[in-house]
Chain A
Amino acid sequence: MNVRFGVRQVTALVSVIFGLVGACQMPSKGPGELAWAMRYDPKTFDPAKVDEQASEEVRFLTDGVLIRVNRRTQQPEPELAASWNVSRDGRMISFRLRQGLRFSDGSALTSRDVAWSLRRVLDPATAAPVADEFLAPQEVKVEAPDALTVKVHLPKRVIGIENVFDEIAIEPAERPSEGKVTSGPFTVVDYKRGQYVRLARNANYWRRDAAGVQLPYLTGIRLDVLNNREREISLFERGEYDLIDSLPPDYFGLLQKKNPRAVLDLGPSLNTEEMWFNQAPGAPLPDYEKAWFRNRAFRVAVSQAIHRADLARIAYDGHATPAYGFVSPANRAWHNDGLRFPHEDVAAAAQLLAGAGFHKSGSSLVDAGGHAVKFSILTNAGNAARLKIATLIQQDLAAIGMQVTVVALDFPALIDRLMHKQDYEACLLGLSNVEPDPNTQMNMWISSSPNHQWDPSEKTPATPWEAQIDKLMQEQGTALLQKNRKLAFDQVQQIVADEQPFIYLVYPNTLYALSPSLVGVEPSIFQPGLIWNIANVRRQGTK
């Protein structure tokens, strides 16, 4: 017998083998079940201890909360609490629970469970990250005067206190179960480290649709632990996965070509990509470099020399918006529409540098002391768009004579240099903003904060403008009137645009891939953008 193998046959054989291997490794998807990938294993299933995205996703899907923030309107809506009331002085919030609430194991959910869950979160021994949002958690008092009422007494007013309850899961009192007994739409039924988390429908979930059908519609969810974009895209294309959260821009076009209805670009997200120079006085850098980085003219000139439109078009395939400030235009409530910022202008940048004592020697820029201006931009390896941005900036800055080296490090090495050794010159990273409220950015702008990246943990503000930012951030955090908060925060945005401690580059767009067979999804730029109303999501043709 004469058997001939052509390229097609070999490709088909290889595909079949890989398909079989893949199929063996992956549990099958049941009817009415959704599946998608999470990048890494959840660190914890204890809803009180959640501090990273994978755990947060599981918490969101499994746990019931008193108030849920609608990701479309950004307004708090009643969930387990039928209603709530904040006192006039903002120091007391009382909740009235719905009647007949039950946990997934059938036991009754009462104010005792709510009070216990809140006290557990506020207890310093739990080390719940959300506790910090109460400002002085150890002084908060919780009482349950009757089976349906819970009162929370705060030592001082906390702005937007309702939204904090969106992050606090209500668990059975004295019986924390790490997601196995919940009051949310799903419960954790199976977890295999490095493979998947499987959730099943909570048959006792309180919510019903308009026709009286009990929610959620889905029978379950499978979250695969998969940190391989290529494989994730391929599984989505094959219908194994139903959605992709934060789709990389280069894959957007690829999926769009195959099925335009499967991809969504919601426009600018709340996130920013930015670069900054190390201004820490203790950094192990030569004094002349520190002098460059502390020089406002130097930073503004760098900002003016960068072609942000090219960054958005090339690095993000057009799925990003040039950024000049730290508040995205998507954050309509807090964006400063009247922001004045240094416009892109290479000639103006050169002029500014000349005024600050820099001059050209051949094609290189040198400072007044004769030192050639060369520095490295540190970024994290593995982010293709960010590496492209760094390469584009390298050429942009070469136009004004700056010699830039791009260094991509793995994340632990990068964090070590940024946070511990402060051994770097410039850094390019992105910031994920989950909440639109300025209070969530407090730790970035207050000069004494360790996350005040350009000069962490300042004992006293190093410059008058940093002192001014401190003052204004405190003002916006304590002002009683929204317009006063906005006024103060607008000024912070203006100071940052004037001084350029962070040089903002782009606002990446919110990109999703979503199976067209899903009904009820209400995509939002706020996390978790595709699954925030998971109880209402169903597959077309199912009930």
Chain B
Amino acid sequence: MKRRVAVVMLALMVVAAGVIVMLPGTSYKAQDREAIMSGATAHHWVGTDDVGRDRGVRVAAAVLLGLGGAAAAAAITTAIAAAVGAAAAFSAPGVASVLMLASDLFLSLPWLFLLMMVRSFLPLTTSPLHSAVVTFSILAALGWPACARAVYRGTLNLRSSEWMIQGRASGLRNTQLMRRHVLPHLLPLLIPQFLICVPAFIVAEANLGTLGLGIAEPLPSWGAMLLELDNSASLALSHWVYLPVVVLVMVLLLLESLTAEV
């Protein structure tokens, strides 16, 4: 029940964000220079930021970008985890050890420094959209190892089950066994993994944004918007400065409640 409510609320949030972003005459980057850090007005329902950009449109765009990017990255990372874990389980013990060693190596990587390094290698003219794609791609590339270990263990158990032995005896190849039998049985493991990754990646992107390593301006990102809270002068000018953090917490709570129910 709780899960349904959460799904409905998230869906409503996404639809509302989509409508706000698509409204004619709105833009997340247009600067209204006569309305700097304004409060709620007829033109800007939840005020503007420090260069006069509509805060509502920017928060809505951040919801879409954050959720969309995090969901895509979570899907990729879950797919990589499933592929690596299952491949290790169906491989010779030596290959399995190498694959698990590789996942341990990934787990031990200082990912923040890796991200900084990757970002510093990007051309300076990387467009904001590309910076968003790169940010979420890196998160996807770094998020799979823990899940891969769980998939490996789960697949090993499945592999020795009676129905798998029967499948093998029936002449099914490993790829067929994986596609028809193992993957459906791994779904209860993969879906929670996916749902855990989505909020984790949203938070990771926000953290990177506060360090200036996330999505480039003028695309709105949680991190860049949360940075406004670091300035007591901004806080004194408008209470709407708190809107991004309120919406972010709502999104995270709804995503967490989805995970809790699985």
Q: When the two chains form their complex, are residues A388 and B51 in contact, meaning their CB atoms are under 8 A apart?
A: yes
Contact bitstring B123-137, A, C-beta under 8 A = 1, else 0: 011111000000000
Contact A375-B51, Cβ < 8 Å, known A230-B230, A230-B231, A314-B33:
no
User: With the chains together, A332 CA to B20 CA distance in Å?
Assistant: 52
Q: Report A382-418 CB contacts with B as 1/0, cut-off 8 Å.
A: 0010001001101100000000011110000100000
* Residue of B whose beta carbon sits closest to that of A237: B232
The reply to whether A395 and B232 form a contact with Cβ atoms under 8 Å apart is: no
Q: Write 26 A-B pairs (CB below 8 A) sorted by A numbering.
A: A233-B232, A248-B233, A250-B233, A251-B232, A254-B232, A257-B236, A307-B33, A314-B33, A314-B50, A314-B51, A314-B52, A376-B124, A376-B125, A388-B50, A391-B51, A391-B217, A392-B33, A394-B217, A405-B124, A405-B126, A405-B127, A406-B216, A406-B217, A407-B216, A408-B212, A423-B124
Nearest residue (CB) in B for A410 is: B212
B236 touches A391 (CB 8 A): no
- Cβ contact within 8 Å between B218 and A381: no
Asked if residues A250 and B231 are in contact (CB atoms below 8 Å), the reply is yes
A310 within 8 A of B: yes
**Min CB gap A292→B, angstroms:** 13
Query: Do A375 and B125 touch (CB < 8 A)?
Result: yes
Contact of A253 with B212 in the complex, beta carbons under 8 Å: no
Q: Taking beta carbons and an 8 Å cutoff, which residues of B are in contact with A?
A: 29-31, 33, 36, 50-52, 120, 124-128, 212, 216-218, 230-234, 236
Which residues of chain B have C-beta atoms less than 8 A from A407's C-beta? 124, 216
Q: What is the bound-complex CA distance between A313 and B30, given in angstroms?
A: 17
Q: How far is the CA of A310 from the CA of B51 in the complex (A)?
A: 10
Complex: A395 Cα to B126 Cα, angstroms = 17
CB distance from A386 to the nearest CB of B (A): 13
Q: Are A392 and B212 in contact (CB under 8 A)?
A: no
Q: Which 6 A-B pairs have the closest CB atoms?
A: A376-B124, A250-B233, A254-B233, A381-B212, A376-B125, A251-B233
Known pairs A314-B52, A406-B216. 15 more at Cβ < 8 A?
A: A234-B232, A248-B233, A250-B231, A253-B233, A307-B33, A314-B36, A314-B50, A375-B125, A376-B125, A384-B231, A391-B217, A394-B217, A405-B125, A405-B128, A406-B217
Complex alpha-carbon distance, A238 and B37, angstroms? 27
Size bracket of the A interface:
20 to 34
Is A486 in the interface zone, CB < 8 Å from B? no
Task: Please pick, from A248, A378, A392, the residue contacting B31 in the complex, using a CB distance under 8 A.
Answer: A392
Task: Give the residues in chain A near B216, CB-CB below 8 Å.
Answer: 405-407
Q: How far is the CA of A407 from the CA of B233 in the complex (A)?
A: 24
Q: Which of B124, B127, B212 contacts A378 (CB 8 A)?
A: B124
Question: A424 with B124: in contact, given A230-B231, A250-B234 (CB under 8 Å)?
Answer: yes
Complex Cα–Cα for A225 and B36 (A): 33
Contacts of A257 in B (CB 8 A): 236
Q: Across the interface, which residues of A come within 8 angstroms of B217, CB to CB?
A: 391, 394, 406
8 A Cβ contacts from A223-241 to B: 230, 233-234
Assess whether A374 is interfacial by the CB under 8 Å rule.
Answer: yes
* Chain A residue nearest to B124 in the complex (CB): A376
Q: How far is the CA of A495 from the CA of B125 in the complex (A)?
A: 31
- Give complex CA distance A384, B217 in Å: 13
Interface: A455 (CB within 8 A): no
* Chain B positions within 8 Å of A388 at CB level: 50-51
Contact A374 B125 (CB under 8 A): yes
Q: How far is the CA of A413 from the CA of B231 in the complex (A)?
A: 25
Q: Mark A411-444, 1 if CB is under 8 A from B, else 0.
A: 0010000000001110000000000000000000
* Bound CA–CA A230/B230 (angstroms): 8
Residue of B nearest to A377 (CB): B124
User: For residue A374, which residues in chain B have a CB less than 8 angstroms away from its CB?
Assistant: 125
| CB-contact partner of A392 in B30, B51, B124, B231, under 8 A | B51
Query: Pick the contact of B125 from A314, A413, A425 — CB < 8 Å?
Result: A425
Q: B31 contacts which chain A residues (CB < 8 A)?
A: 391-392, 395
Report A-chain residues with C-beta under 8 Å of the C-beta of B233.
248, 250-251, 253-254
B169 to chain A, nearest CB (A): 60
Pick the contact of B236 from A254, A307, A392, A408 — CB < 8 Å?
A254
B236: A residues at CB distance < 8 A: 254, 257
Q: How long is the Cα–Cα vector from A375 to B127 in the complex, in angstroms?
A: 10
Instruction: Determine the chain B residues whose CB is within 8 A of the CB of A391 once the complex forms.
Output: 31, 51, 217-218
Q: How far is the CB of B217 from chain A (nearest CB, A)?
A: 5
**Considering only CB atoms, which chain B residue lies closest to A389 in the complex?**
B51
- Which residues of A (351-391) have their CB < 8 Å from a CB of B? 374-376, 378, 381, 384, 388, 391
Q: How far is the CA of A251 from the CA of B234 in the complex (A)?
A: 9
Across-interface contacts of A378 in B (CB, < 8 A): 124
Specify which chain A residues have a CB less than 8 angstroms from the CB of B33 in the assembled complex: 307, 310, 313-314, 392
A374 to B128, CA, bound (A): 13
Q: Which residues of B contact A234 (CB under 8 A)?
A: 232
CA A248 – CA B232 in complex, angstroms?
12
A310 to B32 Cα, complex, angstroms: 11
Q: How far is the CA of A395 from the CA of B32 in the complex (A)?
A: 11
Q: Which residues of A contact B52 (CB under 8 A)?
A: 314
Q: Report the bound CA distance from A251 to B237 in whole Å.
A: 11
Chain B: minimal CB distance from A263 (Å):
12
Complex-state Cα separation, A425 to B125, whole angstroms: 9
Task: Give the residues in chain A near B51, CB-CB below 8 Å.
Answer: 314, 388, 391-392
- Residues 131-173 of A, flagged 1 when their CB comes within 8 A of B and 0 if not, give 0000000000000000000000000000000000000000000
Closest to B230 in A: A230
Q: Report the separation of the CA atoms of residues A384 and B51 in the bound assembly, to the nearest whole angstrom.
A: 11
- In angstroms, Cα B123 to Cα A423, docked, is 10
Chain B residues, Cβ within 8 Å of A314: 33, 36, 50-52
Contact A230 B124 (CB under 8 A): no
Q: In the complex, which residues of chain B have a beta carbon less than 8 angstroms from the beta carbon of A413?
A: 120
Nearest-neighbor residue (CB-CB) of A375 within chain B: B125
Tell me the minimal C-beta distance from B179 to chain A in angstroms.
44
Residues of the B chain whose Cβ atoms lie less than 8 Å from the Cβ of A250: 231, 233-234
Pair B231/A394 contact, Cβ less than 8 Å: no
Q: How far is the CB of A221 from chain B (nearest CB, A)?
A: 26
Nearest CB in chain B: distance from A255 CB, A: 9
A341 to B145, CA, bound (A): 60
Cβ contacts under 8 Å, A394 to chain B: 217-218
Complex-state Cα separation, A391 to B128, whole angstroms: 13
What B residues does A406 contact at CB under 8 A? 216-217
Determine the residue in chain A with the shortest Cβ distance to B228: A384
Smallest distance from the beta carbon of B25 to chain A beta carbons, Å?
16
